[in-house]
Amino acid sequence: MSYNNFYMVDVKIQDLKTKKNDYIGKTVQVSGWVKNCRESKTTTFLEINDGSSFKPVQIVIEKETNAKINEETLSRAMHLGVAVTVSGVVVTAFNNPNNIEINAEVINIVGDCAADYPIQKKKTSLEFLRTIPHLRVRTNTFMAVMRVRNALSMAIHNFFQKRGYFYIHTPLITGGDAEGAGESFQVVAPDFKGHFFGAPASLTVSGQLEAEEAAMALGRVYTFGPTFRAENSNTTRHAAEFWMVEAEAAFTNIDGIIDVVRDMIKFIIRDVLATCPDEMAFFENFYEKGLINKLQQVADNDFVRIDYIEAIEILQKSGKTFNYPVTWGVDLQTEHERYLTDEYFKSPVFVVNYPRDVKAFYMKQNEDGKTVAATDLLVPGVGEIIGGSEREADYDKLVAAMQARNMNIDNYHSYLDLRKFGTVPHSGYGLGFERMLMYMTGITNIRDTQLHPRAVGELR
């Protein structure tokens, strides 16, 4: 019998579970993939999932009493990955009065699954799964990651929409390197004579410069899109393609933007804990003991905020030998960040007022002539998840900062115009979306937070 012979409409498994009282005693049809199967002498159990619910639904097949399901169908269904359509009566689960299961009356095979299907009951390593990104999404881990990724995206939008921020879309192909760090991928049209865009073009490393333009009209804006960096660092927290959330607010100083960051982090944590209880329980069980409590603490407590100079003092007094020695003026390395978050504070930390020379040209220069009004938010286990600052709003100071870095000022006319035409104090930040996901799930490699990770030497 083909799939088309069914005239009943599928019920989503999520619907069955959330409205179970409407369904108990009724005959329904569900479709999904077999996630688990086992059998006893008299009964076969299939767990199937259509993806609507994190947890599968159990299908119970009484072999003796169920003549409509023949031996051949049953043996074809008894493989992980097979797609099936089942109809049967919804009943209260035998072992759990809060759950339901389906007593099958008809089973149809929609698509068989070949014997070399690599997702089997035996737990496979994340390393192995990285070699099969097209299939790993079917595992519990990646279904949970994708579901939390979805919830986190929506939480971010909800936060900004509630606060009157406009969602803007900044270009992915740009002329300049926003961070001035020389880490951009070039965009070329090989068969085109000369530069396709009339000038060298690259994939964006950040939408900040364009977000600043929009903030000078709309007041408060945010972007949420892909960014690309050709960083040749093969670490567990760097991706060549990652998503960044960037907020930009006019008439806002560094303290104001730190408050926005704090409120956003608390909001999105609470939102995901509320919308994804099953997934978060899964991460707690399999990836990070204490995860939910950790996040709850962050949502409920104030954030630690220290000056860069205090960070340096703490590191110098730590008694640790770091690979990169600590003196005023150095950029904080991962090992330094991790000491501050994982060992010293055991909580997220805002570090504020970094030395001018380790940060980007656009950051507001403090009156001391040495530091800029910049902040990084560091979190245990991951390190930096957010970089932000007040922006230099003074035309002459900005030009001076660019000259000091030997930047080509001709490339930044539009950016400088913002300081000519009604300049105002303004601030913004960028959240590395996958790093936030790592922090929220306990997943320790950024490659396991994306559908198809892109990193140096990796293009699967």
Q: How far is the CB of 203 from ligand 4AD (least distance, A)?
A: 13
Residue 212 binds which entry of ligand 4AD, Mg ion, none, CB below 5-8 Å type-dependent: none
CB 432 to Mg ion: min, Å: 9
Q: Which partner in ligand 4AD, Mg ion, none is near 260 (CB below 5 to 8 A by kind)?
A: none
* Binding site partner of 66, from ligand 4AD, Mg ion, none, Cβ cut-off 5-8 A by kind: none
Distance of closest approach, residue 363 Cβ to Mg ion, in angstroms:
11
Task: State whether residue 430 is helix, strand or coil.
Answer: strand
Chain residues that interact with ligand 4AD, rule: CB under 6 A: 178-179, 206, 208, 229, 231, 238-239, 242, 244, 246, 384-388, 428-430, 432, 434-435, 446
Query: H helices of 137-253, where?
Result: 140-162, 208-218
Between strands 241-250 and 220-228, the pairing is antiparallel
Residue 216 binding target from Mg ion, ligand 4AD, none, CB below 5 to 8 Å by type:
none
Tokens standing for residue 437: 């996901």
Return the residue matching tokens 């994982």.
342
Q: Sort strands 83-93 and 96-111 into parallel, antiparallel or unpaired.
A: antiparallel
Q: How far is the CB of 261 from ligand 4AD (least distance, A)?
A: 10
Q: Least Å distance between CB 427 and ligand 4AD?
A: 8
Phi-psi region of 16 (alpha: psi -120 to 50; beta: other; left: phi over 0): alpha
Report in angstroms how near the CB of residue 231 gets to Mg ion at its nearest: 11
Partner whose footprint covers residue 295, from ligand 4AD, Mg ion, none (CB < 5 to 8 Å by kind):
none
Whole-angstrom distance, CA of residue 229 vs CA of residue 185: 7
Whether residue 46 contacts residue 34, with contact meaning beta carbons closer than 8 Å, is answered with yes
Instruction: Name which of 181 and 199 has its Cβ closer to Mg ion.
Output: 181
What residues line the site for Mg ion (CB under 5 A)? 387
C-alpha to C-alpha distances, 59 to 44, 78, 90, 102, 212, nearest whole angstrom: 8, 12, 9, 5, 55
Residue with Cβ nearer Mg ion (221 or 386) = 386
Q: Which is nearer to Mg ion, 159 or 354 (CB)?
A: 354
Q: In sequence order, which residues have a C-beta less than 8 Å from that of residue 307 and are 6 or more positions away?
A: 351, 352, 353
Return the number of the residue (176 or 387) whose C-beta is nearest Mg ion. 387
Question: DSSP alpha helices (H): ranges in 34-139?
Answer: 71-77, 126-129, 133-136
